Structure 1
């Protein structure tokens, strides 16, 4: 494999001139640039990009830490990040952390050692186990929860959940079940708060027995539906904390002989593409996933470039979409 010394020898120039041409070409004469380009082509020289990143002031790389890379919502957020990063000349490295703090530490070290310029974390802020923010490590939390102490982008999860549950109450449902995320997840906490607020305003007592814990994946929605079907006095409506669990729960209820929405109403959260095509189509809250990614990338790039974003927290609007899966209490 050719080295920078081989290129210098072939071009008849010093290694310093070759290095300058690779990193600061405007300081090298056009005549020498032609010689260097010819030598590089002849020798098929490949610069050591890792070394270049260490020498450069920035690596032009953003790390996106994803707790579950298979999650459809995260895929849309990443799409928004990619669009902004590419337009600004940055590449994006995806880090599937699988909710592992040790994996997060590895990606944080990439910024500390200048292999990357900054981090976007798609895991919401957990007060008791947060690794970020770290001084000197530009970072933004995308799809964050309330109370995030650093730069973040989110929707108002409390208000969105409250909107869903008020809709179900308005249809005449008083016994409303919840298929939640993991109980310690900040999104679960915010969305459960919205559920409780809607019940309280309607004069309905909160019953913790009507909350079945899931984990935001399909199978947990199916499992929760099975648990609800075993209740002697099961709810007539269900608020599911994401669309994946809602869609799986609908299948579970239908397999047990229930009709939706004639017998049971089901609402989700996120408005994934599939929610428009399942039968019945799913009532849900639409998060602007791509816009969340775009704003997070814009904020992070501003931090990397030494600018101060206008606000530490950006709260984007959500949209409540009524479809076929919710109907009046019979």
Structure 2
């Protein structure tokens, strides 16, 4: 490997002069700096990034921790983070994030030993322990409420759950079940709260029997969906807390010969690309997934630069109408724009 010493020998200059030139420091004329750069390039010299990081106090590395990279939601989020990292010449580490804080602790400790410049963490059950877990490393939380000094980037999950349920109510449904996410997660709690608020505003009872918790995966949606429908055979609609759960429910309906949407209307939440290709195409409340990643990375860079407190960011969602909702009264058809 070509070193600074080799470049200095080839240039007939001191190591100190060559080092200053290669690091853009003063003390070397422009003509000399250009000659050093040319000879270094001819020799195939590559700067020692580890040494540079020790001098600068920065590794130019950030970490993104996500709970399930197999979920189609997260690759799109990673793309958003990666695009901003690339713009700023940062290396992005992708790490699996256990939902339990005690399991998460050793991975965060390892990242601190690696001296990453900052950490992005997607929703986990941290029980308000972020100060203890992150230490002095700048961190931004995604899909969580603020915790201590750590900024958040999120959508209003309660409002998203409300919008999904309101869409079903506007279509004339009055028996609407909820296929929830893991009970320990804040996003699951918020989406359920949105479902409950919409029912309450419509003067409908909010019953525990109308809710079954899945695991945000297709299999969990299939399993919990079966229990939900068996417990409530009179349901005409279900709001699934994420698209994968809704897809599991659609598979269950196909197995049981339940016509979606004529016999059961289904609305998901997330807006993953796969939702466009289900049968029928899934109606969903879409999160701006890539934009969430971009905004989170920008917030983290602001924290790393030490420019002062970073404001929390809340991005909007939007309803994407597919073909999985049936209008059960003519008056509602105008309100929601869903074909009968």
Same fold (TM over 0.5): yes
Q: How many residues get paired?
A: 326
**Matched residues in 1 for 2:266 and 2:254: separation?**
11
Q: How does 1:78-89 map to 2 (within 5 A)?
A: 78-89=78-89
Q: Answer yes or no: is the 8 Å Cα contact 2:118–2:139 preserved in 1.
A: yes
1:50 aligns with 2:53: no
Q: How does 1:212-227 map to 2 (within 5 A)?
A: 212-227=212-227
More displaced stretch, 188-197 vs 166-175: 166-175
Q: Cα 1:275–1:60, aligned 2, differ >3 Å: closer, same or farther?
A: same
- Counterpart in the other structure of 1:62: 62
Q: Identify unmatched segments of 5+ residues in structure 2.
A: 330-340
1:317 aligns with 2:337: no
More displaced stretch, 58-67 vs 295-304: 58-67
Q: Cα 1:122–1:49, aligned 2, differ >3 Å: closer, same or farther?
A: same
- Counterpart in the other structure of 1:176: 176
Q: Cα 1:11–1:104, aligned 2, differ >3 Å: closer, same or farther?
A: farther
Q: Alignment RMSD, CA only?
A: 2.7
Give TM-score scaled by structure 1 length. Answer: 0.87
Q: Answer yes or no: is the 8 Å Cα contact 1:125–1:148 preserved in 2.
A: no
Q: Answer yes or no: is the 8 Å Cα contact 1:158–1:191 preserved in 2.
A: yes
Q: Answer yes or no: is the 8 Å Cα contact 1:177–1:210 preserved in 2.
A: yes
- What do the CA deviations read for 1:103-159 (whole angstroms, capped 9, x no partner)? 55434553x4573211111224632554667453211112x2335443011111111
1:286 aligns with 2:286: yes
Q: How does 1:192-211 map to 2 (within 5 A)?
A: 192-211=192-211
Q: How does 1:110-121 map to 2 (within 5 A)?
A: 110=111, 112=112, 115-121=115-121
**Matched residues in 2 for 1:113 and 1:26: separation?**
33
Alpha-carbon distance, 1:83 to partner: 1.9
More displaced stretch, 246-255 vs 28-37: 28-37
- Counterpart in the other structure of 2:335: none
- What do the CA deviations read for 1:302-328 (whole angstroms, capped 9, x no partner)? 1111213562x1111111223210113
**Matched residues in 1 for 2:64 and 2:81: separation?**
9
Give TM-score scaled by structure 2 length. Answer: 0.85
Q: Answer yes or no: is the 8 Å Cα contact 2:242–2:270 preserved in 1.
A: yes
- Counterpart in the other structure of 1:137: 137
SS state at 1:252 partner: helix
Q: Identify unmatched segments of 5+ residues in structure 1.
A: none
Q: Cα 1:49–1:59, aligned 2, differ >3 Å: closer, same or farther?
A: same
**Matched residues in 2 for 1:100 and 1:208: separation?**
26
Q: Cα 1:310–1:117, aligned 2, differ >3 Å: closer, same or farther?
A: closer
Q: Cα 1:39–1:166, aligned 2, differ >3 Å: closer, same or farther?
A: closer
SS state at 2:85 partner: helix
SS state at 1:119 partner: strand
**Matched residues in 2 for 1:208 and 1:141: separation?**
30
